[in-house]
């Protein structure tokens, strides 16, 4: 399954991945952001293999090195907040969704299982250090 984020294309192999979605455009996430302004979510969620819940946040800073230095908060804090908003949406969606309840339930089963893993991935694209920054 191919998903696009900005100028980047990600190919999730169906032999390894299931229930991969572009999270930040899902209808349940949009409902949460309408009700709770300021809520943020990651770019993609999915299940790797049968037992690993994965969230992926994509940052493409190519061509914007100077703007990136002027961030309001550290990148790790931003990703953490998006992860929390993602979990809140999944929990709420499991209770109220008419669009993805089974998927949210599968996600929650992995999140709650003490023997399973949760992976938080930051996909970061930057200019190489030998390229000039845009002015």
What integer pLDDT is reported at residue 95 of this predicted model? Answer: 83
Please provide residue 134's backbone torsions phi and psi, each rounded to the nearest 5 degrees. -70, 145
Instruction: Give the tokens for residue 60.
Output: 């493409």
Interatomic CA distance for residues 100 and 29, integer angstroms: 11
> What does the pLDDT look like over 31-58, one tens digit per residue?
888 888 899 999 999 999 989 999 999 9
Q: What is the pTM of this model?
A: 0.86
pLDDT class for 79, splitting at 50, 70, 90?
Answer: very high
Burial readout 98-117 (b: 16 or more C-beta within 10 A, e: otherwise): eebeebbebbbebeeeeeee
- Judged against a pLDDT cut of 90, whether residue 92 lies above it is answered with no
The answer to whether the CB of 23 falls within 8 A of the CB of 86 is yes
What integer pLDDT is reported at residue 135 of this predicted model? Answer: 46
- Judged against a pLDDT cut of 60, whether residue 120 lies above it is answered with yes
In terms of DSSP H, where are the helices of 7-133?
A: 27-35, 65-69, 75-96, 101-112
Token pair 């002015």 is at which residue? 135
In this prediction, residues 88-92 reach a mean pLDDT of: 89
> What does the pLDDT look like over 13-36, one tens digit per residue?
999 999 999 999 999 999 888 888
Q: Is residue 57 exposed (0-12), middle (13-18) or buried (19+ Cβ within 10 Å)?
A: buried
Interatomic CA distance for residues 59 and 71, integer angstroms: 13
């Amino acid at each position: 399954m191919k998903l696009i984020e900005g100028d980047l294309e990600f190919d999730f192999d169906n032999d390894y991945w299931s229930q991969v979605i572009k999270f930040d455009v899902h209808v349940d996430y949009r409902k949460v952001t309408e009700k709770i302004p300021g809520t943020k979510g990651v770019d993609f969620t999915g299940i790797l293999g049968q037992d690993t819940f994965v969230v992926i946040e994509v940052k493409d800073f190519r061509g914007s090195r100077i703007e990136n230095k002027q961030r309001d908060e550290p990148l790790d804090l931003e990703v953490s907040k998006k992860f929390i908003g993602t979990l809140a949406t999944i929990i709420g969606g499991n209770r109220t969704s008419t669009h993805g309840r089974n998927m949210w339930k599968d996600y929650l089963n992995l999140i709650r299982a003490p023997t399973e893993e949760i992976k938080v991935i930051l996909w970061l694209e930057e200019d190489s250090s030998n390229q000039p920054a845009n002015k």
